Structure 1
Amino acid sequence: MIQLLNDISLSPISLSEQGKLLQLMKEIYPPVYSHLWMDKGEEYLTDIYSKENLKAEIMNPDVYYYFIQYKKETNGILKVITNENVPGANDNDMVKLQRIYISPALQGKGIGKQLIRWVEDAFCKEHSLPLWLEVMDSQEKAINFYEKQGFVKFNRFKFSSGRMKEEYRGMYRMIKSIN
């Protein structure tokens, strides 16, 4: 258990918790993202949070995957990948904030901001490694949040999934320099 603040902590996700992970994501993902998908994201969630996929992710020594607890309740996930570079960037060493999902009921409470600060401190600051992420270009609220945290748009690309509605496949890669 990693204590960030009195009310926020992180707990590493283990393979035995795959069912808990899938159930959590079926609760917190659809209210914000189901409109992007032809099937409301069901197949995406089942694939991404399958036992096989989780095993491959947590076996990678560069992957750090956590449940987010707020007031001792599990309310989200955080996944960080070290040694993961932005396609098209010249930097060889970067850190990717791959997944940060928090229950919609808790958004706006400063949890995301604290998590990003922790990722910067834990993975980026010692070697001044840039932090980057990918965000849907239709998610203005998320883009504005990341810009407030110091991220800037680096490039655009299209998410390649036949299950996602064509008009929502646009994404930005955003980078934050860490000093």
Structure 2
Amino acid sequence: METHNITLASNNDYKIVQLIGKETFFETFASSNTEADMKKYLSESFSEEKIKKELSNKESMFFIVWDSEVPIGYLKINTGDAQTELQDTCALEIERIYVKANYHGKKIGQLLYDKALEVAQQKHLKSIWLGVWEENPKAIKFYEKNGFIAFDKHVFKMGNDIQTDIMMRKILT
């Protein structure tokens, strides 16, 4: 049985986070967006400066998943003011679960989700929420399988394209 190691990312891991972010976002969404919008989004959202700032935010946590010595994905979670929208003090936001395409179907996303759930439980939070693109049925199904329910929508700007994310929440007991 394969085992994968998850480590808490530090500020020194910005290059790993940046490269995985760019690679996985491109793999997942390039075919559904224009080249110009993709280039703009990748350069703005995964710039060295932005990733370093995100990593240094005390209300955000990044976890990198490794296959031996190779980083294959990461999780970004937010609490408090770091949350992109709700800023609910009793909630944790999953902002990103990114897994390299050749590791899809190997339960890596589930492993990262389980880490988010563990952190939320350790912090005694009441819910976990996230936004997922309405055109990403695979991700929506994954979150529904894990007990998330849609509760709202919000705008996601992909380059110059305005898209809609479904906001989903899981109440923790």
Superposed CA offset, 1:25-72 (max 9, x none) = 333221211134332622222222222212221221111012221344
> In the alignment, is the contact (CA less than 8 A) between 2:8 and 2:61 conserved in 1?
yes
Kindly state the Cα deviation for residue 126 of structure 1 after the two structures are TM-superposed. Answer: 5.1
Counterparts in 2 of 1:22-37, with a 5 A limit?
A: 22-37=18-33
Distance 1:86 1:31 in 2: 23
> In the alignment, is the contact (CA less than 8 A) between 2:149 and 2:170 conserved in 1?
yes
Matched length = 171
Q: CA RMSD in A?
A: 2.5
Counterparts in 2 of 1:75-114, with a 5 A limit?
A: 75-83=72-80, 87=85, 92-114=89-111
Partner in structure 2 of residue 66 of structure 1: 63
Q: Does 1:177 align with 2:171?
A: yes
Question: Which segments of 5 or more consecutive residues in structure 2 lack a partner in the other structure?
Answer: none
Task: Tell me the percent identity.
Answer: 23
- Normalization by structure 1: what TM-score? 0.81
Counterparts in 2 of 1:1-179, with a 5 A limit?
A: 7-38=3-34, 39=36, 41-83=38-80, 87=85, 92-124=89-121, 127-161=124-158, 163-166=159-162, 169-179=163-173
Kindly state the Cα deviation for residue 112 of structure 1 after the two structures are TM-superposed. Answer: 1.4
> In the alignment, is the contact (CA less than 8 A) between 2:74 and 2:112 conserved in 1?
no
Question: Which segments of 5 or more consecutive residues in structure 1 lack a partner in the other structure?
Answer: none
**Structure 1: 4+ residue segments shifted above 6 A:** none
Relative to structure 1, the CA distance from residue 126 to residue 88 in structure 2 (aligned partners, 3 Å threshold; closer, same or farther) is: closer
> In the alignment, is the contact (CA less than 8 A) between 1:30 and 1:40 conserved in 2?
no
Letter in 1 for 2:61: Y
- Normalization by structure 2: what TM-score? 0.84
Relative to structure 1, the CA distance from residue 59 to residue 27 in structure 2 (aligned partners, 3 Å threshold; closer, same or farther) is: closer
